[in-house]
Structure 1
Amino acid sequence: MLLPIALAALLSPTAQETPGALEQDPSGWIDLIEASGADLEGWTRVPIPPDGALNPDSQWSVDPETGSIVCSGDKGHEWLRWDAPQRDGIYHVEWRFVPVAEGPRRYNSGIYVRNSEDGTVWHQAQTGDASGGFLFGDTLIDGELERISTRDRVPDPRVKPAGEWNTYEVTFAGERVTLWVNGAVTVDWETCQVPSGHVGLEAEGYRIEFRRVLLKPL
C-alpha cells in the first residue's frame, strides 16, 4: 500500500514531449547487460524485505536470442542489484510485461536508483499495465526513514499496456531525481537526501523483460 507524502516535485499540467537523454547524447553509456554477460556477473539478488529469504533458484536470466534480461516472476519478491554504486547518473531501461492468459493481471515491477546495498533505502520508478510512471520509496529525510510517493502528482503516467515496450530514464544528480517516460518527464523531485546508491530491477510476481539496460555516470 502506498502512503503518499508531499514532495517538492515540479510537474506541469501537461507533460511536454522531449527527446530522452540517450537520444540526445549516445556517448558515455555503460551497457549493463553486455558488461555482465549471460551469467549476470556484477548483479546480485536481494530479498524484499531485506530480512526475507531468497528462493534458492534464480528467476533472472539473459535470453540468448534477444540479449534481454528476463525475470520469470515466479520465485518471490526480490530485486536485482547492480553491485557498483553510483552517485550521479542516468539509468535507461526499456521494459515490457509478458501478458498472462489467465489469472490476476496486476502487473507490477519497478526500476530502482540510489538503493542501499540491502534495499532498506529504496527509490522506485513504478511500472505497470498502462499505469505507473511515478516515483516512490523509503528514503532518508533528515536522517529518518520515511515513505514518499509522487503518485498523486502524475496525471498522465504515459505507460503502455502489458506486451508493449516502454522506455524509462531516471536521472539522479545532486538532490534532483527525474523520471522520463516514453517521451516526456512525468516526475521532477528536487529533495532527495540520499546522495548515492545502487540501481536495480524488481521482481514482483509477473514475467517481465528488460532490454537496453544502460547507465551513464554524470
Structure 2
Amino acid sequence: MRFRVISQACSRAIGALAPALIICATAIALQAKEAEWTDLLPAGDLTKHWTTKGNWSIDGDGVVSLTPREGEKGWARFDAYLWLAGDYQDFEIEFDYQVQKGGNSGFYFHVGDQASPVAKGIEVQIYDSGSKPADAKLTDHDSGGVIPGIPPQKNNAKPAGQWNTFHITVKGRSLTIRLNGEVVNEVDLDHPRLKDRPATGSIGFQDHALPLKLRKIRIRQL
C-alpha cells in the first residue's frame, strides 16, 4: 500500500513537472540552434553556398580570390558579385579580408534586389583604410563605414596586404561592426539614410574590379 501511494505521488510530481521540462528542453534546443555557425566555405568549396558570374576562385587553403578579368571596370556589374544563397534578416557573420594598395570592395546585406544592391541594400565598406594617415578624416567609404552616409567611428584597419577580420552583427534595427576585435561602428538601421532599405534580403561581396581575398567566412542566424 505504501509503495502504491509513493508511486502515485511520484507520478503526480512528474506530471506537474512535465510542462516545465518540455519548455526547458525546447528553450535549450532553440538556443543550440541559434548558436550554430555555418561554414560558408566547406572543404574549400565555393559553389555550395555561393553564386557569381565574376572571376572568383578558391584555393586549397580556403582562400577566395577575386581576380578581375581584362577590361572589367567599376562596381556596377552586379551579377559579378559573390552572392550567398538565401535571405537573411538577423544574423552574425565573420570573415577575413585582404586588399591591395588602394583596394576597394564591400559587404552587402538586406539586399532586396540583386540587380540593384546599391539602391536596394546596405553596404559595409571594405577599403584600404589602413594605408591612410592616422589623423585622416574618415568617410562612409572607409573600412567599417556604412553606405550610404555613415563613416566608421575609428580606423582599425591594417595596412594593405595584411589580413583583417570583420565581425558583423545585425539584430532587429541594430548593426554592430567589429574590425580586428574592436567596435568601429554601431548603427541604427532606422537612421534617415537607411530606414527605407529592406529589412531582409541577400548577402554578397562586391566585385569592384580590384583584387580582393577572403577567407574563414561563417554565419549564424539569430
Q: Does the Cα contact within 8 Å between 1:170 and 1:179 map onto a contact in 2?
A: yes
**CA distance in structure 2 between the partners assigned to 1:189 and 1:156 by the alignment:** 14
Are the counterparts in 1 of residues 153 and 185 from structure 2 also a CA contact under 8 Å? Answer: no
- Distance, in Å, in 2 between the alignment partners of 1:73 and 1:92 is 24
Please, what is the CA RMSD of the aligned residues? 2.1
Using the TM superposition, name which of 171-180 and 109-118 deviates more. 109-118
Q: Distance in 1 between matches of 2:104 and 2:66?
A: 12
Structure 1 counterpart of 2:91: 89
Question: What's the CA shift for 1:164?
Answer: 0.3
> Alignment identity in percent?
22
> Is the contact made by 2:57 and 2:64 (CA closer than 8 Å) also made in structure 1?
yes
**Are residue 42 (structure 1) and residue 49 (structure 2) matched?**
yes
Q: How far apart, in 2, do the equivalents of 1:69 and 1:203 lie?
A: 13
CA distance in 2, matches of 1:155, 1:215: 24
Aligned length: 161
Larger Rg: 2
Give the corresponding residue for 2:113: 117
Q: Which residue of structure 1 aligns with residue 64 of structure 2? A: 69
Partner Cα distance (1:135, 1:124) in 2: 8
Where does the alignment leave 5 or more consecutive residues of structure 1 unmatched?
A: 1-26, 46-53, 100-104, 138-147
The amino acid that maps onto 1:123 is I
TM-superposition CA deviations, 1:181-218 (whole Å, max 9, x none)? 11111111113443211221112122111111111110
> Hey, what's the Cα distance between the residues in 1 that align with 2:57 and 2:218?
17
Q: Which residue of 2 aligns with 1:5?
A: none
TM-score (norm: length of structure 2): 0.65
**1:31 is the counterpart of 2:27:** no
C-alpha separation in 2, matches of 1:214 and 1:133: 19
C-alpha separation between the residues in 1 aligned to 2:45 and 2:144? 31
Q: Which residue of 1 aligns with 2:30?
A: none
Amino acid at match of 2:173: E
Q: CA deviation at 1:71?
A: 0.8
Summarize deviations over 1:87-139 as a string: whole Å, max 9, x none: 10011111112x4xxxxx421011122122322412111112216233333xx
For structure 2, list consecutive stretches of 5 or more residues without a partner in the other structure. 1-34, 133-141
What corresponds to 1:18 in structure 2? none
Normalising by structure 1, we get a TM-score of 0.66
Q: What is the alpha-carbon distance in structure 2 between the residues aligned to residue 30 and residue 96 of structure 1?
A: 22
Partner-residue secondary structure (3-state), 2:42: helix
RCO (CA 8 Å, sep 6+): is it higher in 1 or 2? 1
- Distance (Å, rounded) in 2 between the aligned partners of 1:112 and 1:190: 16
